[in-house]
A and B are shown apart, each in its own frame.
Chain A
């Protein structure tokens, strides 16, 4: 299984961009990178996902390096409500166990006023 490595915690000033890194050096060519976040006691919230190209939606941008071994989630203007645990997940393969999401420990992002 492709595994991900994320820093355990990060701080960001309110209004500034939050850049959350993720290392997935063993990713395979057909594996997507997903980002979710979880605010305490709530279900994980989908943020964005991508295969090889950079992606942007109303919540965030996802930058995937050319070799696909790492990615960065960018929250362009962080607010206090963005304080959460952010999970970077590589979805493994296409069959059987591939359909599940394997969550690591994630990054606790704290947005400071």
Chain B
């Protein structure tokens, strides 16, 4: 069974540009969430989607957005990139959005903003 797949794995963008990251959850999983990891702030929750609806959002500016498609695949977008957006962006999936459901993470997308 394939794990959570994230693309691209590495990318470099310039300040002011926008970026779109993609996530394919484990087959059958309907909940997809996104996290940002930086050396200074650690792992922080961005948002979570379940059945194409955003169910929860972390404390990030509106430049960070996401969506989920009918096949549960998800994308996140960061507009007007800032140097501080350089981070590892992690996607995670679970069967359902319930406490007892295990959440599995992908390998992440490394974003460098220059």
Which A residues have a C-beta under 8 Å from some C-beta of B? Answer: 30-32, 34, 36, 41-46, 49, 51, 87, 91, 93-94, 96-105
Report the minimum CB–CB distance from A77 to chain B (whole Å): 24
Q: How far is the CA of A31 from the CA of B98 in the complex (A)?
A: 11
Chain B residues with CB under 8 A of A98: 99
B25 at the interface (CB under 8 A from A): no
A47 to chain B, nearest CB (A): 10
Which of B62-70, B71-79, B105-113 faces chain A?
Answer: B105-113
Chain A residues near B35 (CB, 8 Å)? 101, 103
Residues of A within 8 A of B48 (CB): 99-100
Chain B contact residues, CB within 8 Å of chain A: 4, 31, 33, 35, 42-45, 48, 50, 55-56, 58, 88, 90, 92, 97-100, 102-108, 110
> In the complex, which residues of chain B have a beta carbon less than 8 angstroms from the beta carbon of A34?
103
Chain A residues lying within 8 Å of B98, measured Cβ to Cβ, are 94, 99
Given contacts A31-B99, A94-B99, A100-B56, contact A46 B31 (CB under 8 A): no
Q: List 15 A-B contacts (CB under 8 A).
A: A31-B99, A36-B105, A41-B88, A42-B107, A43-B108, A46-B102, A46-B105, A51-B100, A91-B99, A99-B55, A99-B98, A100-B45, A101-B35, A102-B45, A105-B42
B92 to chain A, nearest CB (A): 8
Question: Contacts of A46 on B, CB cut-off 8 Å?
Answer: 102-105
A66 to B4, CA, bound (A): 35
Chain A nearest CB: distance from B30 CB in Å?
12
Find chain B residues with CB under 8 A from A49 CB: 100, 102
